[in-house]
Amino acid sequence: MSFASVESLKSRLPGYARDLRRNLDSVIGASDLPLQRLWGTVLSAAIASRSAVVLRELAPEARAVLSPEAYRAAKTTASVMALNNVFFRTRHLLSDEEYGTLRAGLRMNVLADPGVDRTDFEFWAFAVSAVNGCGLCLDAHESALRGAGVEREVVQEAVRIAAVIQAVATTLEAESTLADLEGPGEPGGSGSTGSVGGPGDPGNLGK
């Protein structure tokens, strides 16, 4: 299936990142996931990537595909996992295990009622945890997905989507900055491809 936002992102990627163009097609365009699970993952991972470029491209399509409830839930997932991933990753990394016995004292009520199918929420949370690098959270959400009967191959799709979106975000944000530093046609620069931000105009990337 072809999505306009994916095609637009592909057109922005420089020549050296051509593998990412194919990977976008693979993890989104050719995905067998149900649309709600797919686009909730895409949106929550895009938010977690912290890339305005990527979010501007993917969020409108996600909003068109998802129900209002699912769209809100995907944003909520990215928000609550931004909190959880920092908090629980830190607890996990600390050598003093006593921190794990302390009361968190943080509101996380949405975890009890995410507003969508529980498995979809766990899938999105797993993807965001991959972007944010919280091993403890990854284990918890993977366990919930496996407990719900989701096969490992399907669980891995969340990581594939998260990895590709993060890589695209990193590349495009770097190109946005480098476009201001590198002249047109400079070796390795944005201007050498003509594909970033429109033909012959690499400076359009961040607009």
Q: What is the pLDDT of residues 127-151, one digit of tens each?
A: 999 999 999 999 999 999 999 999 9
pLDDT above 70: percentage of residues in the chain:
88
Q: What is the mean pLDDT of residues 52-74?
A: 97
Asked if the model's pLDDT at residue 191 lies above 50, the reply is: no
SS (H, E, C) the chain: CCCHHHHHHHHHCCHHHHHHHHHHHHHHHCCCCCHHHHHHHHHHHHHHCCCHHHHHHHHHHHHHHCCHHHHHHHHHHHHHHHHHHHHHHHHHHCCCHHHHHCCCCCCCHHHCCCCCCHHHHHHHHHHHHHHHCCHHHHHHHHHHHHHCCCCHHHHHHHHHHHHHHHHHHHHHHHHHHHHHHCCCCCCCCHHHCCCCCCCCCHHHCCC
**Residues noted as catalytic:** 134, 137
Asked if the model's pLDDT at residue 199 lies above 80, the reply is: no
Q: What is the mean pLDDT of residues 116-135?
A: 97
Local confidence band at 92 (pLDDT 50, 70, 90 cut-offs): very high
For residue 15, what pLDDT is reported? 96
For residue 167, what pLDDT is reported? 98
For residue 195, what pLDDT is reported? 40
